[in-house]
Amino acid sequence: MGFWGFGLYENDTTCDVRDSFLDFIQDNLSNGEAYEKTMKQFHECINDQDEPLLWLALAETQWSVGRLQPEVLEKALLWIDTDGYLEVWGDNHAGAIEWKAALRTLGEKLKSPMPKEKKFPKLSRNPWNLHDVYAYQFHREESKATDFFGKYMLMQKIGESTYGEKHRLLMRVQVIDHLFCDLPVLEDISNYRILPMDDLRNIERRVFNMNEAVSIAKQSENPSSHILYLGTLEGPANTDFTGWCDGSLDWLSIEHYLGRYFNTWQGREYTTVSEGVYKYTST
């Protein structure tokens, strides 16, 4: 299983549990049916090292959409009270501290009043057109303690696809490497370079991903009031779009990753491999 941090949704298992339960709800299954199918899909986690992740993610997801079941709450609180999964961090004391903090935060959330039950209508089409440019405003709670909160970054759609048996919609976006204090205009896209969507894990190959897939299957995840359409423009490095990267983002985690990639690449230089290609090489 892959980890990229110490938060609840910074590993493959919790993200997969969350997405699976919401997919089942989106297919108009009842809460009980969605729960049973999710448990069947992740039955290998029971009595396994990853079992805490299953219950923690399922409880958080159900609470967030107003569907938390008593048995799921009970299991999750048990793992929270016993610092479930803490042993995985071993000698990584900083990671252990962050994980325990995440558990405490989740415990407080699960004990607080649950929101009303939410509905999840399916999207039948990708709402962004090719070459559309949007200004994304940082607004989530996690960004309030950073320099990003209230500021904007430019995003442009350069491709689209689907994945999985349910043909979940994806759109491929590139992001402009600049943090705007005020709402940018369409022409600003040509004044700055493209932000590498990579955190130097490919440093030895000296080639970096310059765009990322964003999952848009759930209308409720789209923060429409914080995404402002600026226009359509055949912007930089998308004239010959080829290839797809492996990863994908969702609107719930995008501020974390945009901030991470932005901070990683400040002061670093890179050049294009060739005109229009979606990867760049460092210099």
Give the tens place of pLDDT for each residue, 117-149: 877 655 555 678 888 999 999 988 888 888 999
Looking at the DSSP bridge assignments, the partners of residue 59 are none
Bigger pLDDT: 204 or 14? Answer: 14
User: Which of 55-69, 198-212, 237-251 is predicted with the least confidence, judged by mean pLDDT?
Assistant: 237-251
- Nearest 10 degrees: Cα torsion 116, 122, 126, 132: -20
Q: In whole angstroms, what is the distance from residue 90 CA to residue 165 CA?
A: 37
Rounded Cα distance between 155 and 213, Å, is: 12
Which pLDDT does position 128 carry in this prediction?
Answer: 84
Nearest to 150 by CA among 160, 158, 140: 140
pTM metric for this prediction: 0.56
The mean pLDDT of 244-261, rounded to a whole number, is 77
Euclidean distance between CA atoms 31 and 35, whole angstroms: 6
> Which pLDDT belongs to residue 243?
44
Helices (H) and strands (E) counted in the chain, each on its own, are 6, 9
